[in-house]
Structure formats: structure tokens, C-alpha cells
Amino acid sequence: MQSVIERFLRYIKIDTESDRKSDTFPSTLKQLNLAKLLEKELKELGLEDATVDKYGYVTATLPGNTDKDNVPVVGFLAHMDTSPDLSGENINPQFIENYDGVTIVLNAEKDIRMSPEEFTDLNKYVGKTLITTDGTTLLGADDKAGVAEIMAAVEYLLEHPEIKHGTIKIGFTPDEEVGSGVDHFDVERFGADFAYTVDGGEVGEVQYENFNAAGAELTIHGRNVHPGKAKLKMRNALLIGMELNELLPVFERPEFTEKYEGFYHLFQFGGTVEEATMTYIIRDHDREKFEEKKRLIQKAADFINEKYGDNIIDLELEDQYYNMREQVEPHPEIMKIAVQAIKTVGLPPKIDPVRGGTDGSRLSYMGLPTPNIFTGGHYAHGKYEFIPPFAMEKAVETLVAIAELVAKK
């Protein structure tokens, strides 16, 4: 049996960064390199229906081996792409053996360090092995750890036929990081009664709540005039954008929020005096507060337009996904199975809200209730991403336990 760590290290060597600005699906063709490898590996494991469809979705079926009737069909899903927030090319993972609780030097040449005072999750893993980046790329645990864990669980179940399970559906998706991961996913064809995304964080997490999400694109139309002749004529689009940003609540930014607190996140801002663009994501678990956040950014744009005239700001506001709780809560047995599985492998379950979204949030609204379980990774989307190998192994055990528990229901 290949270890989950071997699989993970192989998968992160394949660059699968997605692209927010692309108008294709998948957004980058290089994601298909991993998709085709996974199809090949699934077939080598004996899953004869493994396929990559025209959209880049990898699906396969692990047949059940139980004599029980009416066993629900469970799905396990993970996404293949990595975030465009930092390069996923030429990832060089580092192993920190028996972590001693001090600052980790990720890259001595560039003096990139990760201290437990600032990155406090490190304190949970003193004495454990960690896999980190080399300080120049992300690691790709989001979500190639989930991919590797599902693959390892499938292999383990095949090698241990004494573990009885029903039919299991496997799905690997592109473009989750750019919000379009299930745009073309055929839930009916997938054929699961319910599913789990393996796309969470800390070991032991299981989640059935996520943000309501919207995106805001603002285009600011300025007026450029030679600065020596600019009095009462120039309209600096960059400064007007800064002015709009100051109309939004300072303490409703990601760096000041946690748990169920929502935020406005300005993650792109650029341009010239003549024209500038700003891109926000808007998030809140509470639907009423989410709607109020959207109303407030609209009011800010309206205020600027009234102040300067000429509709100086164009605002495009679009909902992206909603809190899956509304769709999962009517099916409490799905969460009970996940919680029991985590307990079965010797972990205390952590039922926390997702401060983000998963493919599962949209799948739940497409008729496939899909909570999220842990991969073991921390600090995704950046150079400080790390994952403890033991957490990945526990994720594999948890998937196996879920398969077994579903068959016993």
C-alpha cells in the first residue's frame, strides 16, 4: 500500500493553480495533468469506471462489499486545484522532524521564518513531524491532502475486504479555489445519497456551516489632468477607491474577525489616476448580516457617485454561494456519522464553522448534502502552509470509519 504521504508528495509536484480571470473550464489546462494521473491510478486500483469528463471532473465508483440491502451511497470529494494567491509551481516541501516548538526557518536565503508566537497553531504539534513549504510557494495541502487521503482510503478498503462498506462514489473537481468548482458537476450522474468534502483544516474538524459569499467588482472612472494644471479638474481614481474603502467598517476586515464574524476583504486594487479597479469578497455566516453587508457596500458606492457625480463608480455585486447549514441540518444523520467516525479513530471532534466555502456548500444546494471534514492542513493559500503527516493518516482512518459506519446504518 502506498502511504498517504507518498501520494501527497507526488500530487503537489503537479502545478494545478487555477485562474480567476480565465473564461474556460477548467480555468487552467494544467489541472488536467493531475486529473489524468488520478484516473490512471484509480483504474490501476481496480475502479473500472474511473474517468475524466470533458470538464475535468474525475469520478469513480468503489463497489460495495456488504450483503446488507439499502445501504446509502456515500461520496467523497476533494478539489485538485490550488489557490492563485501564491504560486503552486516547483513546490519543494520540507520535513521538520520532532518539531521542538521554536521558530522554523522556511528559507534562510530569503530570511523567511514562521514563529509559534505569530502562527500559534504550531504550538499544537510540538514533538510531531511537520511538512512545510520552502518559503517560496504554497504547499498545496489545500486540497491535494484531501485528494491523497481519499485515494489512500480507497486503496485501504480494497486491501481489507473484511471491512464491510456500501457503494462509495469518488469525485475530484477543478477550480474550487476560484468559486466555479461544481459549475458543471452532474449530481444525478454522480449517484451519491450524501457526501463529504475532504477539504477542512485542523485534525478532527467536521463542518456543516460555511459563509454566505458574494463578490464585488468596482470600476472607478477618474479624470487625469497634468498635475500642474489639476486644480478642480483632476479626479484621482486611486484616491477615490481609498475613500470608498474607508466608508466600510474597519473592524469587519479578515484580520480583525474570527469564528462567526463576517468581513469585507479587499484583495485586489490597482489602476491609474484615470481608472482603477477594486475587488472585494463579502462573507458572513448569518444571512441577514450578509445581506446588510451587501447593502452597505452599495450605499458606499452610491454615496461616492452622489458626491462626485457622473456615476464615477460602477459596482457589480454577485452572490457566489450560501451557508450549507440550511441544506445539511435537515439530515442530522450525516453529521452524526462523521462525528462518530472521528471519535472511532481516537480524536475529539471539532464542530466549527468553515470560514470560507467548499464545493460542498454549493453541492448541498444542488441536492447533495455535503458536510466537510478535515485534511489536517493549516494556513492555506500562502507560504506558511503546513500539514502534520499524522493528521493525514487520521483523515484516511476517518474516511474508512465513515464507510464502515454507513454500511452499519
Active site positions, annotated: 81, 176
For residues 196 and 219, give the distance between their C-alpha atoms in angstroms, rounded to a whole number. 38
For residues 337 and 110, give the distance between their C-alpha atoms in angstroms, rounded to a whole number. 46
Beta bridge partners of 112: 107
- Please give the distance of CA 266 from its chain centroid, rounded to a whole number: 18
For residues 217 and 314, give the distance between their C-alpha atoms in angstroms, rounded to a whole number. 8
For residues 295 and 211, give the distance between their C-alpha atoms in angstroms, rounded to a whole number. 17
Sign of the CA dihedral running 367, 396, 60, 160: negative
The string of DSSP codes covering 60-119 is EEE------SSPPPEEEEEE--B-TTS--SS---EEETT--SS-EEEETTTTEEE-TTTS
The string of DSSP codes covering 267-320 is EEEEE-SSEEEEEEEEEESSHHHHHHHHHHHHHHHHHHHHHH-TT-EEEEEEEE
Looking up cell 493525514, which residue turns up? 392
For residues 290 and 280, give the distance between their C-alpha atoms in angstroms, rounded to a whole number. 14
For residues 39 and 51, give the distance between their C-alpha atoms in angstroms, rounded to a whole number. 6
Q: How many helices (H) and strands (E) does the chain have?
A: 10, 17
Nearest to 252 by CA among 242, 267, 262: 262
For residues 267 and 172, give the distance between their C-alpha atoms in angstroms, rounded to a whole number. 27
